Amino acid sequence: MVKFKINNKEVQGNKEDTIWEIAKSNGISIPHLCHSDEVGYKPDGNCRACVVQVKGERISKSFY
């Protein structure tokens, strides 16, 4: 289990989950285009609508 804050709201989820999934299961919707819950629409991380800044890295990472 991991715990962290999104928009000042305490959230938690499994370690294997992505930030996006944890946000969703906690009722926070993050815009996205590249995937859907349906079969065959796995997250590719190429629409880049959701990105995170990783501390110490120059470039943002997609957080699918």
Partner 1 sequence: MNTINKRAPGRRDKVYFNKGRQLDLSAFEEAKKILDSYRPFKKDMLIEYLHLFNDKFHGLYAKHLRAIAELTKISMSEVYEVASFYAHFKIIDDDALPQSEVTVKVCDSITCFMNKSEDLYSQIKDSNFNARIEKAPCMGRCNLAPVVEVNHNHICNANLEKISNAIKTKDYLYKNDNFISLEDYRSNGGYELFKKLQEGTVTFDQFIKCFSESELRGLGGAGFPAFKKWQFVKSYKGPRLMCINADEGEPGTFKDRFYLNKDPHRFLEGTLIAATLVEAQTCYLYIRDEYYGLIKLIENEIKKLESLNIISKDFLVIRRGAGAYICGEESALIESIEGKRGLPRNRPPYVAEVGLFGKPTLVHNVETVYWIREIFEKGGKWFSSHGRNGRKGLRTFSVSGNVKSPGIKLTDAGITINELIEEHCGGMLDGHKFKGYLPGGASGGILPASLGNIPLDFDTLQEYGCFIGSAAIVVLSDKVDIKSIGLNLMKFFEDESCGQCTPCRNGTSMAVKLMEQKDWDIDLLNKLSVTMNKASICGLGQAAPNPLQCIIKYFEEDLK
Per CB under 8 A, the list member of 4, 6, 33, 41 interacting with partner 1 is 33
Instruction: Please report whether residue 28 would count as binding partner 1 according to CB under 8 A.
Output: no
Measured between alpha carbons, how far is 53 from 39 in angstroms, rounded to an integer? 29
Output b/e per residue, 18-37; b: 16+ Cβ within 10 A.
bbbbbbbeeeeeeebebbee
# residues contacting partner 1 (CB under 8 A): 12
Tokens found for residue 57: 């890295």
Per CB under 8 A, the list member of 27, 37, 55, 59 interacting with partner 1 is 59
Residues of the shown chain interacting with partner 1 in the complex, contacts defined by CB under 8 A: 33, 45-49, 51, 53, 59-62
